[in-house]
C-alpha cells in the first residue's frame, strides 16, 4: 500500500511540474522567488524548461520517491532548486493530510536560485 501511495504522489508531482501548474486534475500552482523573477525573460524561460524537463531522480536526491525536489545546473545561471509542498487547500494555511488525494491536497511548486534556499 505504501509503495502505491508513493507512486501516486510522484505521479501527481510529475504532472504538476511538467505542466508547470496548468494541469487538470492536479490542484496547485507554480511560484518563483525574487531571484528567479529578476532574471531576464529568456533566462526565466530556460529555468522553467529545465524544471519541466527534469528527470534525474535518484536515491540521493529523491530518497522517498515522491519526485518533490530537484536541482538543475543551467549554464550561465546559478544552480536552480525546485520543490513541491503539499497544503490542504489553495489558501495554503495548513499542510495536507494526504498528498496522494487530490481532494485533500493543493501543491505549490517553488522555483528558486540555490543562493535563496
> What integer pLDDT is reported at residue 1 of this predicted model?
59
pLDDT at 51: 97
Domain coverage including residue 52 = 2-116
The cell 543562493 sits on which residue?
115
> How many structural domains compose the chain?
1
Alpha-carbon distance 34 to 29, whole Å? 16
- Residue 24 pLDDT > 90: no
What's the pLDDT band for 22 if we cut at 50, 70, 90? confident
Q: What is the distance in angstroms between the CA of the first residue and the CA of the last residue of the chain?
A: 33
Q: What is the pLDDT of residues 26-83, one digit of tens each?
A: 999 999 999 999 999 999 999 999 999 999 999 999 999 999 999 999 999 989 999 9
Amino acid at each position: 500500500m505504501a509503495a502505491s501511495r508513493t507512486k501516486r504522489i510522484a505521479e501527481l508531482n510529475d504532472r504538476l511540474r511538467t505542466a508547470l501548474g496548468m494541469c487538470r486534475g492536479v490542484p496547485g500552482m507554480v511560484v518563483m522567488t525574487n531571484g528567479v523573477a529578476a532574471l531576464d525573460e529568456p533566462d526565466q524561460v530556460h529555468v522553467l524548461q529545465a524544471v519541466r524537463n527534469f528527470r534525474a531522480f535518484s536515491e540521493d536526491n529523491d530518497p522517498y520517491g515522491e519526485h518533490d525536489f530537484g536541482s538543475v545546473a543551467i549554464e550561465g545561471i546559478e544552480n536552480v532548486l525546485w520543490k513541491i509542498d503539499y497544503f490542504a487547500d489553495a489558501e495554503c494555511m495548513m499542510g495536507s493530510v494526504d498528498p496522494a488525494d487530490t481532494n485533500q491536497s493543493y501543491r505549490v511548486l517553488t522555483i528558486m536560485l540555490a543562493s535563496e534556499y
